[in-house]
Structure 1
Amino acid sequence: MAYDNICKYLAERFPEQFSRWLMGEVALPVQLLPTELSEEPMRADSVILLGLQQGILHLEFQTDPDPEIPFRMADYRLRLYRKYPQLSVRQVVIYLRKTRSQRVFQTSFRLERLSHEFEVVRLWECNLPARVDWPALLPFRVLSQVEDPGETLREVVAELERLPDSSEQRELAAATAVLAGLALDRGLIRQIMRSLDMRESVIYQEWRAEALREGLEAGRKEGLQLGLQQGLQQGLQHGEATLVLRLLRRKLGSLDPVLENQIWALPPSQLEALGEALLDFHSVEDLTAWLARR
């Protein structure tokens, strides 16, 4: 499961907490809106309808800067207006991984007379709540403004262990483990989080399935490349053996099948040597002696 997909999952499961984090107190209940914003294949990460028709909170999660983000935010805003013209919209792009790119400071889209503004959150500049009553934000704490990500992860694990809901604990632990990979070594993450069992979580299962698919695809490509190389080598060997056998038959006459099989089994380098040596052969015995020396 990709990093931004995990964030989408968390925003969909805990929309109230994300709304409170980014907007302060909001009237309850809040609810998720469909993220498909038109007939075209364009889907927002998370669209949250705030309580009592206060408006819409639109979230986009980005692991790394994308030059298309300003245009996409403007496009999303117009699509949201088309579906919900009576509601105000607050748009926030949340960047996960620390970077020096200036793109993460870009908060507007400009095109001739068209102008659109949106907000940006750079997690590494944020002080996130460390309390267990904000569980949705626990997986992000390692990526926030902390001095020691490893020690922060230990603190997060302690908070996760306090969660009374085992299902929620598994999902948040799996999200934490994956997102922490943006800041920490996997070996250290496994060591710190070994007390938490997350194997039955949706996030963990999807992450494992995605890793397996990527591994199979890499294996398929490697196997295809290896197959092409082997096929090319076998083709060269077959062509050279055919040529050498033709020259031998022309010079020595028909050959015993046992000798032919020996020649077919020779690697390309020895076939090349045999092609030169046969010029001096006068009988089948010369060929037999040459093969015996291989």
Structure 2
Amino acid sequence: MTENLPRDRYDTTIKELFGDGEEELISFFGHLKTKVIQHLNIEFARVEKKRSDLILECRTELGPAAVHLEFQSTNDSDIPFRMLRYATELQHKYRLPVYQILIYFGEREMTMADGLVYSFGPQNHLDYRYRAVDLGSITREEIKKTNNYTLYALLPLADRPRRRQHPEAFLRECVLDILQAPVTTEEKRKTLLRAEIFAGLYLEEKIIEQIFQEVETMLNIEESAGYQRIFKKGVEKGIQQGIEIGIEKGIEKGMKKGRQETLRESVLKLLHKKFKKIPRPYVDKIKTLDEYALGLILDNIFEINTLADLEDYLP
């Protein structure tokens, strides 16, 4: 679906991908309810390199504010200085309180400070803080409990201990979470595209490609020309039978037959993708399965990794 991005471009990419989910990001990472008014911008004459920032004028439960989200995929010891520059430039230009959130989603544990503090003599003090969140320390279940499906794209970046131990299996679990979300197919595709990009931080491209090709095939089942052709054929055959045994009963039978043939075609297509070649006896058994049994195979397609696994679903 997409090629992996260079590591230093993830910071910019996460900003671009969540342009339609800013309020959700602020609510989850900043624990602050907001209404975005507009995007803000500032000239960084003194900032050596402008990084990926998301700066918004918001109405919040605490009053108006300039909310700044900074995304980091690597640890940067200079980040407190850059965050302070943002804060002072923003307040100087817009005269608003500045609420800052540093969101870190790197592979390693976060080591960056969450502010700058010093005291020199009786009158020179600095106690500057911002909110710093390590996405890898947040569990997959915490994100799911929000029921905010925009955030599901971040699932592959959560639960660092689990994804380190079983990275491929963890990504499959995240993908299943997205597939099972009660949203439209188009929204699932958008979320999966984002998740695929973020998975490139810690998984090889060939593994990511295999997992997401299987998913894309499943999402395309109902919209594919093959599905429409088989379903239509089943309905037409049912209607023809209805002339003899009753229109209503015939159409129902034809629709059921169309669904079953579509499921069978989809199961065989996905299994061919996984195993390249399926022995003839397995194909023959699959052709005898009813709609329920075929659905079980589709529901558990990611857990079927060998022909021995497949046998558990066959007569």
Q: TM-score range by the shorter chain?
A: 0.5 to 0.7
Letter of the 1:47 counterpart: I
Question: Is 1:136 the counterpart of 2:150 in the alignment?
Answer: yes
Preserved contact between residue 139 and residue 180 of structure 1 (Cα < 8 Å): no
Equivalent in the alignment of 1:205: none
Partners of 2:24 and 2:110 in 1: how far apart?
29
* SS at structure 1 position matched to 2:132: strand
What displacement does 1:139 show? Answer: 2.4
Q: Report the equivalent of 2:94.
A: 84
- Secondary structure in 1 aligned to 2:99? strand
Higher Cα radius of gyration: 1
The counterpart of 2:177, out of the listed 155, 159, 162, is 159
Q: CA 1:79–1:167 in 2, change beyond 3 Å: closer, same or farther?
A: farther
Distance in 2 between residues matched to 1:18 and 1:37, nearest whole Å: 21
Per-residue deviation, residues 191-215 of structure 1 (Å, max 9, x unmatched): 22213449xxxxxxxxxxxxxxxxx
Cα deviation for residue 181 of structure 1 reads 1.5
- Structure 2, unpaired ranges of 5+: 218-315
1:38 matched residue in structure 2: 43
Q: Tell me the secondary structure at the aligned position of residue 152 of structure 1.
A: helix
Task: Report the equivalent of 1:192.
Answer: 211
SS at match of 1:66: coil
For the residues of structure 2 that align with 1:67 and 1:163, how far apart are their CA atoms?
41
Match of 2:298 in 1: none
CA distance in 1, matches of 2:71, 2:132: 10
Q: What SS class does the counterpart of residue 70 from structure 1 fall into? A: helix
Give the 3-state SS of the residue equivalent to 1:195 in structure 2.
Answer: helix
1:19-61 deviation digits (Å, cap 9, x = unpaired): 220233615x324422x31263746511233335442321111
Structure 1 or 2: more strand by fraction: 2
Residue 97, structure 1, aligned to residue 111, structure 2 = no
Q: CA deviation at 1:98?
A: 3.1
Secondary structure at 2:143 match in 1: coil
Asked if 1:4 is matched to 2:11, the reply is yes
Note if 1:48 corresponds to 2:52.
no
RMSD, aligned CA: 2.9
User: How far is 1:177 from its partner?
Assistant: 0.9
2:168 maps to 150
State the 4+ residue runs in structure 1 displaced beyond 4 angstroms. 41-44
CA distance in 1, matches of 2:44, 2:76: 24
**TM-score using structure 2 length:** 0.53
Q: What corresponds to 2:131 in structure 1?
A: 119
Q: Tell me the equivalent position of 2:33.
A: 26
Residue of 65, 70, 78 corresponding to 2:80: 70
Kindly state the Cα deviation for residue 110 of structure 1 after the two structures are TM-superposed: 4.8
- The one-letter amino acid paired with 2:94 is Y
TM-score by length of 1: 0.57
Q: Secondary structure at the match of 1:92?
A: strand
1:24 to 1:110, Cα distance in 2 relative to 1, 3 A: closer
CA contact (8 A) 1:180 1:189 kept: yes
2:30–2:131: 8 Å Cα contact kept in structure 1?
Answer: no
Partner SS, residue 203 of structure 2: coil
Q: CA deviation at 1:78?
A: 0.4
Distance 1:54 1:22 in 2: 18
SS of the equivalent of 1:56 reads: strand
* Contact 1:15/1:31 (8 A) holds in 2: no
1:77 Cα deviation (Å)?
0.2
Among all aligned residue pairs of Structure 1 and Structure 2, give the percentage whose two residues are the same amino acid: 24
